[in-house]
Amino acid sequence: MHPSRSAPTDWIVQKIADPPGGLDTTTTHQHETFAEGLVLDCGTVLRPLDVAYRTYGRLNDVRSNAILLCHALTGDQYAAETHPVTGKPGWWDTLVGPGKPIDTDRFFVICANVLGGCMGSTGPRSEMTDAEGHPQGRPWGTLFPAVTIRDMVRAQAMLVERLGITKLFAVIGGSMGGMQVLAWAALYPERVFSAIPIATAAWHSAQNIAFNEIGRQAINADPEFHGGEYWRHGTIPARGLAVARMTAHITYLSEEALTRKFGRRLRTGPMLTFDNDLFEVESYLQHQGSTFVQRFDANSYLTITRAMDFFDIAAEHEGALGAAFRASPVRFCVISFTSDWLFPTAMSRELVRALNAAAANVSFVEITSDKGHDAFLLDEPVLFRTVSGFLKGAAERWR
């Protein structure tokens, strides 16, 4: 069907403001501090370690109803409540809440900001310390060490222990959140009863590394980046970060979703001009880019995209993915979406094959959706039914 004939969108064209003055730094975030710090895979010690987090629901007396949610690249701990900076609903508000598939009347849900993030967990915006924990009077900035998905998971494990939880009922996440789910199962098989990795992979592909690199290059190319020392100059690399976000955003959608949402519809009158927001799809992307810079730190973006690129569970076991999960007691529910071309179903199938070969307990659901990678964040009834059904089944087997 020609896109000009597609149904009108309910998306409202919004005026794109000039790049905003800077990242929100006024919001304080609930967190736990670990004075002993964390030794990273790269050898650097982060001391102290802060882990910012939110919880929803109530931990039961036997501490058996805890679910950990792991967020994606640009997510954060505000999974199921109004976001304190953007004022928008939490990123998994559709899935998590009273009576929802991840039912907070029943489960105690934890979501932590990842290590390296910019919403309260230790990251490039935190004050730099030496190995003994002495503050250095400056933010880490570009000197923040390289972190891995495993490092993120180790920090979450410290939080979970601090909260008095010996074993999580479930660990759930999509995209980079799914990578953390897999790392949890590989690192702490005795501390995870069930795991739901969604729209993810056991290693980051060459194409995904390439798309991340576009974003990093765009940030590096922005003169306001100042080699990562923008905090010294009172600037933020808003334009570079916006280009990074725009690029990533395209990869989250499917061709079908973009066509349905925008087609070739024009925003404004005359066709043959050079206006930068001629087509609705452009205006939408620019809006995505410019709102993102208000809530995200460029050095965090560099740190976290690199953690994704490093991710390769098979490589940690001499290329044998199954070895990471040999005789794992964890119950897996692997979920993918047909139109996801960033983490295509083939990657989930490869994971499922390895889990099967490792004699792990695994079910696999490929959900038909034309919404692309983003489907895991959207109103997808089959996803909701799959998650609630799997959790229900798992609960029946949970001592």
Residues lying near a copy of itself in the complex (CB under 8 A): 2-5, 41-42, 142, 145-146, 148, 203-207, 209-211, 213-214, 216-218, 220-223, 239-240, 242-243, 246-247, 250, 253, 255, 258-259, 261-264, 271-274, 276, 278-279, 281-282, 285-286, 289, 302, 306, 309-310, 312, 314-315, 319, 321, 341, 344
At closest approach, how far in Å is the CB of 319 from a copy of itself?
5
At closest approach, how far in Å is the CB of 13 from a copy of itself?
15
At closest approach, how far in Å is the CB of 279 from a copy of itself?
5
* Pick 24 or 312: Cβ nearer a copy of itself: 312
The position carrying tokens 């730099």 is 128
Can you name the residues that pair with 337 across neighbouring β-strands? 367
At closest approach, how far in Å is the CB of 160 from a copy of itself?
25
**Backbone phi and psi for residue 235, each to the nearest 5 degrees, phi listed first:** -115, 170
What is the SS3 assignment for 221?
Answer: helix
**Backbone phi and psi for residue 199, each to the nearest 5 degrees, phi listed first:** 50, 55
* Pick 49 or 66: Cβ nearer a copy of itself: 49
Residues with a known catalytic role:
175, 340, 373
* Pick 120 or 322: Cβ nearer a copy of itself: 322
Residues 6+ apart with CB under 8 A from 223: none
Contact 398, 64 (CB under 8 A): yes
* Pick 171 or 321: Cβ nearer a copy of itself: 321
Helix, strand and coil percent figures for the chain, each rounded to 5:
40, 20, 45
Contact 365, 394 (CB under 8 A): no
Contact 262, 279 (CB under 8 A): yes
The position carrying tokens 């949610």 is 69
